[in-house]
Amino acid sequence: MNTNQQQPQDNRQRKPWYSAWWPFVVALCLLLLFNGFLQPLLVRSQLKETDYGTFTQYVNQGKVEKVLIEDNKIYFSIAEEDGDGRRTTYVTGQMDDPGLVQRLSEAASPSETGHIVFAQEIPHENSPITNFLLWWVLPGVLFYFFFNMMMKKMGQRGGAGNFMSFGQSGAKIYADNEVKTTFADVAGQDEAKETLQEMVDFLHNPTKYTEIGASLPKGALLVGPPGTGKTLIARAVAGEAHVPFFSISGSEFVQMFVGMGASKVRDLFSQANEKAPCIIFIDEIDAIGKRRDSSGYGGNDEREQTLNQLLTEMDGFDSRKGVVILAATNRPEMLDKALLRPGRFDRRVQMELPDLEGRMAILKVHLKHVKHEENISLDLIARAMAGSSGADIANIVNEAALRAVRMGREVVAQQDLEESIETVMAGAQRKGKMISEQERRIISYHEIGHAMVAARLGGSAPVHKITIVPRTSGALGYTMQVDSGEQVLMSKKELLSRIATLTGGRAAEEVICGTVTTGASNDIEQATKLARTMVTRYGMSDKYGMMALETVNGAYLGGDTSLACAPDTAADIDNEVRQMIADGYEKAKKIIADNRAQMDAAARILLEKETITGEEFMRVIDTPAQLVGETR
């Protein structure tokens, strides 16, 4: 691949000789097998020189079957076969015997007629040159091109995993003019762009840095949850710097045979040095960069050799050439400490979930590629997508475009985006699902119970929408709350209000319907998780106070937790959590009992319309109890 950067010839490193010559070796082995086993089966005759005396001896013995006289030479075959089952054709030298034809006509023969047959042609071997071309050169060329083509196809399907690609890195290489992504395509990550912009500037103007004695950071580690744009911003750095871009996944270094992963690392850095300045991007580096086992038992020798080679290469290359290493991971806590020290990955770039302004910026970037109405409220859509990553927002915009086509519209409207958010969160609508009237009534009161507790307690996000339309995720209805702004911190009062809101559905079932159902299973799970977090991590328990009772593992991949306390303490934590949820439940039941008239009126409207907005709900509950019966 051509680049605009030229390096002195003595700095270039040649590719390993075996990367080009191994197809010839394979072809030679196949030719030996071919000629050793197939040729004797296909070639049924061979040519052998003899003297005229031997010929006359065979004639007198009656062994000659066929004779051909050509250019004073005699070609003849006898009835006997060689040990390998092939028939031999003999040829004599020049001779002059006028009575030969007469004697041959009278001589006996083992042929069917009992006389020697005068043949017009006797099959015999080609010339040595012809045999060499047919049996060695032609099959060799065919074998070479066949295997070369097969290996190329295997490489296109994932050549890094091909066990025949000895030492080749398998990295995808993009020339400087092939990477079209720029920082303009990356939104919602302003801090990360500012950090990486300095690397781009160094690649453009290295002189102003080297004059003061500064050196280019060798590497930057991109850390964050999935979908936050780590790969995208790495391509944007290459696009802004206009340099070649090497892209490879950490798992592609993991090989079946020990030493091959390390060989791939060497080949990758060798290619990068040839094309410097350039950028190497290793995605999911935790596949090869996991912390090494200090005990020395149970380790993966291949993975550790690959990691050691990576550490050596990062120490060995000259940063003045402009080779920048970018790596991405969702599990930074699992990486080896030697990989994170200064001089290897000098910078750690956090790629967090975007805030409100970031979501709006990402939304604008993706809406550029679809036709949409001009009056779309980006602020409302961005607030409804709280906690979404850049990939989630791209998926929501695409779902909205697909819905607009299904609805027969030529542009994306506000309702398309709102419905796509609900589709991503709770699944598509299942309007055909049959639900009895009694169950619909319970579901209505359940959802209105959530909304009522949220509205009366305060400190909770305003109700945006209430629906009892079933969804494919299994939800029979839900209450959607949208914060009025971006909230970073939450107080203990707000968290307790949220727990009470989660129990509002079950409280409405018990107070109004006189029963409890399985519809509150997800509410119970969320309330329990929130209450436990308040006790073990947030220090919001009066009994334990500011004491950390659990640790978080894989914060960017779901945040699994493990308790760090004694068994007796763990049992007591359960009691604290149970009491916290019980207090919220009692609070929710009281609110619902005090607002029974508004609950009935809102439930009637929800049963009739199946979906109501937050404004419609607030108009009902703000109506005095003596007038609420007239609200329809």
Q: Which two tokens stand for residue 283?
A: 């995605």
What is the bridge-based pairing of β-strands 478-481 and 463-467?
A: antiparallel
Strand partners of residue 327: 221, 282
HSE of 454 in the Cβ direction (CA atoms, 13 Å)?
A: 25
Give the torsion sign (CA, 528, 529, 530, 532): positive
Phi and psi at 142, nearest 5°, equal -65, -45
Distance CA 12, CA 321 (A): 13
Residue 598: count other Cβ atoms within 10 Å of its Cβ.
23
SS3 state of residue 236:
helix
CB 287 within 8 A of CB 253: yes
**Amino acid found at 282:** I
Give the torsion sign (CA, 298, 303, 305, 309): negative
End-to-end CA distance of the chain: 71
Q: Which two tokens stand for residue 249?
A: 């996944």
Phi and psi at 443, nearest 5°, equal -65, -40
Phi and psi at 155, nearest 5°, equal -70, -35
**Is 418 annotated in the active site?**
no
Give the torsion sign (CA, 521, 527, 531, 537): positive
Distance CA 275, CA 310 (A): 19
Residue keyed to tokens 């080896």 = 336
Q: Which two tokens stand for residue 170?
A: 């398998």
Query: Which residues neighbour 559 within 8 Å (Cβ) at sequence distance 6 or greater?
Result: 552, 553
CB 467 within 8 A of CB 475: no
CB 354 within 8 A of CB 343: no
Q: Which of 447, 509, 510, 576 is catalytic?
A: 447
- Compute CA distances 617 → 261, 507, 614, whole Å: 62, 19, 5
CB 246 within 8 A of CB 268: yes
SS3 state of residue 279:
strand
Helix or strand (DSSP H, E) at 117: strand 117-118
CB 373 within 8 A of CB 400: no
Give the torsion sign (CA, 172, 175, 178, 183): positive
Buried b (16+ CB within 10 A) or exposed e, 185-197: ebbbbeebbebbe
**Amino acid found at 317:** F
Distance CA 573, CA 594 (A): 32
**Active site residues per annotation:** 447
